[in-house]
Structure 1
């Protein structure tokens, strides 16, 4: 079994993973080492702080040995295929995580590996991030029912995974993005097939109204630097600030997967304020990574 898309998980799977993540969070340092003697290959085409550190620490604290493999350390750039890389790594390690530019690379790894493959970010989805978001939401509200999620900003990979998770869990989600940067028709159709009904708008204030959770991400993702000037112009009013938060429910929270460009997609006032759950969210990347690794790489039977 792999975790390539959040859509591969059922509602029960998600809730079990969140329960496991909560247990790891509560018993950090005392939860044992269920992956003792195993190794995890970590393929990183794109650099990262939170993803690399959370995965390395998670693997180490579970007893596994993490192996960081940057693009320059692999033979992919010298002609070796993704399929051959997957086959070879499968002879050495118990699991593969990959943070890549193209979702097709993750799909090829999963198709040819004989060990679990975990999507640590692609241009289409970011399932590990959304599990951390869901853990954070449940910690703050003690539930994952009867909540409204509002995504403000670029309809990107993180947004895609959030839309799919909302569909699986039966949560209301509203996305506010400028034309040309909204979730694709393909993604919205996938969410509807899962039972969701995502609402896509242009006006951020309309999306934020009465929302329980406001979520955003950088306006200029890695690989989009050539579009920076245009993106900054287009997204200027898609900012989570005190005015937008005032439209949301009184106990609403703000999430951001980080790194944040303060003063662009989110203000200091919100990010450092009482409604911010950003740093809990970042911490939960560690606990949800442990939950996923233990589930996919552990010896317990998966049902």
Structure 2
């Protein structure tokens, strides 16, 4: 049984396969494939979602699966049932569970401790792995490669930044530079894991807490909204610390050919200006569409082992 709780769960081969498959769905080369016919996917979101929920719902249907959707008010956990018991019930009725808890990933790992149902993390507090796969798919579709790309990330070192750091560093020659407000950078754990990946794969990751001396000639500039879903900031004056990290058109003076990425939703006038988000360099809405294509690749990857076994005459 395959689960995706963190990008660390993927081998290098798995990561590359999912990204390439997502690019294949995005290009239309794989249109019409329905490898999930006869399966049922649960789509469980406790927190708000536009792109990720729609991506996995639409993607599952396009691949032939049926879906059951739940929100945070639907389940008996609200009347006292334990999360562990809920997960055990899910595993008896669903083939795949896509879940956004926005909390501790330990709950997702508990649900994954069985051999009946695949579990996909659609965003936890520490990491947004399917966003990371979407970002890699978008870079591959746009540039035709990921190796050697230089990416500047500006903003909070949140779960999106964590996934980017844990994914991009696994491609040789890539350079990821993060500019984050003091006190709002990558966690020490994520930074250490990303640095280890960079050392093993011949890539570079750096993080600084100011906007001086930005790198020139980057291939992509990436930002995320300042207030991540399901979180709050202890400092009531946090916006002052974030203000210098707004992405404006000035950043393109040093990188005139760079594309702009944003995981969305965007707050124009906060983390990014409307000029940039709606401008000629922005591929943020292509990136949003690729979330569906990447979701399809993830869903297929989760179930492909069982599908292949069934095709060979083994038990489904």
TM-score normalised over the length of structure 1? 0.93
The residue number in structure 2 matching 1:152 is: 154
* Segment drifting more, 205-214 vs 277-286: 205-214
1-structure distance, mates of 2:20, 2:77: 38
1-structure distance, mates of 2:51, 2:138: 16
2-structure distance, mates of 1:50, 1:11: 26
How many residues are paired up?
A: 300
Question: Are the counterparts in 1 of residues 136 and 168 from structure 2 also a CA contact under 8 Å?
Answer: no
Indicate the SS of the match to 2:156.
Answer: coil
2-structure distance, mates of 1:210, 1:128: 27
* Segment drifting more, 173-182 vs 96-105: 96-105
The residue number in structure 2 matching 1:59 is: 60
The residue number in structure 2 matching 1:300 is: 308
1-structure distance, mates of 2:230, 2:24: 36
TM-score normalised over the length of structure 2? 0.89
Q: Deviations over 1:20-50 (max 9, x none)?
A: 1122223389423111111101111101011
Indicate the SS of the match to 2:176.
Answer: strand
Q: Does 1:192 align with 2:186?
A: no
Q: Where do 1:163-242 residues align within 5 Å?
A: 163-170=165-172, 171-196=174-199, 197-225=204-232, 230-242=237-249
Indicate the SS of the match to 2:164.
Answer: helix
Which ranges in structure 2 are unaligned for 5 or more consecutive residues? Answer: 310-316
Which of structure 1's runs of 4+ aligned residues deviate more than 6 A? none
Question: Are the counterparts in 2 of residues 24 and 31 from structure 1 also a CA contact under 8 Å?
Answer: no
1-structure distance, mates of 2:281, 2:206: 24
The residue number in structure 2 matching 1:120 is: 122
Question: Are the counterparts in 2 of residues 205 and 244 from structure 1 also a CA contact under 8 Å?
Answer: no
Question: Are the counterparts in 2 of residues 270 and 276 from structure 1 also a CA contact under 8 Å?
Answer: yes
